[in-house]
Amino acid sequence: MPAGPKLKSLRNKRNITVREVEQASRRIADAKGDKRFCISNGWLAQLENGVSEPSIPKLFSLCAIYRAKFFDLLRLYNVDVDEIEKYETVADPYLTQLISHRRDGDGELWSPVSNQNEHVATTLMPEVDAVDPAHAGVDGNRAPHIIYGHLGQADFTMYPMIRPNALLRIDTRENKPRAVAWHNEYDRPIFFIELRDAYACGWCELHGNQLLIIPHQASPASVRRFMYPREAEIIGRVVGYSTNSVDLATESVNVPKRKLMAARNGST
């Protein structure tokens, strides 16, 4: 049902006429000292017929008159504030961002990797609703130290070993840079790092109080240096990943040139 008829249904349940809504809104506007909170009966008729949409002050008045919650009326117009975090990666998908892995309004598990062509950022998913069989506890619950990340389409740090759009499995117990023996590039620890305003994924070296994020030797990215731990903090070690063997995802997305150049130059 469209928003207009739903609002009319709310008014009828309160047994209020459009004239009474106008009178009530005038009292609210007078108390607020702001005419924007006033709702004329003619405008309310247009609203209920779907001709108009309410402004925030008028929606406030309707909430007070109908005894409804503000967020519930917002949802009538397909605005759900609980989805703001979900759409941060859509608003600026080229930055590394922290997002949640949660169920959407239909009960389906929503993930930034569910439609990889729309999410170009390297992202971290700290809340995973689904059970990962490979890392579940003895009782079947998800291992609390395992979280997941999505390697953005503009992130070439570990390319081609880990290609853009890879799903990363992160062990948060290993969050300190330390010297370990490794025999090949696959044994060398890869870390997921939180920066001041972004995230990164790559090999790490600690030189004094400087943390170096080392790219793959075949990557176009450069070494990045950050003050540790003030500018960079290790979230955990990447203990698994799924990656494409070809660059289909990056070919299908129109990534702005300046974003790709920034990624390739190693800037954050």
**Where are the alpha helices (H) located in 33-180, listed in sequence order?**
41-48, 56-66, 70-75, 84-91
- Kindly tell me the sign of the dihedral angle through the C-alpha atoms of 190, 194, 195, 197: positive
Torsion of CA 179, 185, 191, 196, to 10 degrees: 100
In order of their start, the domains of the chain are 3-75 (1.10.260.40), 86-265 (2.10.109.10)
Determine contact, residues 201/149, Cβ cutoff 8 Å.
yes
pLDDT in tens, the chain (268 residues): 889 999 999 999 999 999 999 999 999 999 999 999 999 999 999 999 999 899 999 999 999 999 999 999 999 999 998 888 777 767 765 655 544 444 444 444 344 444 444 455 676 665 544 434 444 444 445 688 889 888 888 889 999 999 988 888 999 999 988 778 889 999 999 999 999 878 999 999 999 999 999 999 999 999 999 999 999 999 999 999 988 888 764 444 455 545 555 555 554 4
pLDDT tens, residue by residue, 69-89: 999 999 999 999 888 877 776
Distance CA 264, CA 19 (A): 63
User: In a 3-state reduction of DSSP, which class is residue 134?
Assistant: helix
Sign of the dihedral defined by the CA atoms of residues 265, 188, 120, 91, in that order: negative
Q: Which residues contact 22 (CB under 8 A, 6 or more apart)?
A: 38, 39, 40, 41, 44
Report the C-alpha gap between 174 and 191 in whole angstroms: 9
d(CA 226, CA 205): 11
Both structure tokens of 105: 């309004």
Give the position of tokens 């950022």.
121
Kindly report the pTM of this predicted structure.
0.55
DSSP state of 152: -
- The span from the CA of 35 to the CA of 239, in Å, is 59
Q: Residue 15 CB: number of other CB atoms within 10 A?
A: 7
For the stretch 203-243, pLDDT in tens is: 999 999 999 999 999 999 999 999 999 999 999 999 999 88
Q: What angle do CA 74, 23, 35 make, to 5 degrees?
A: 65
Supply φ then ψ for residue 237, to 5 degrees: -95, 140
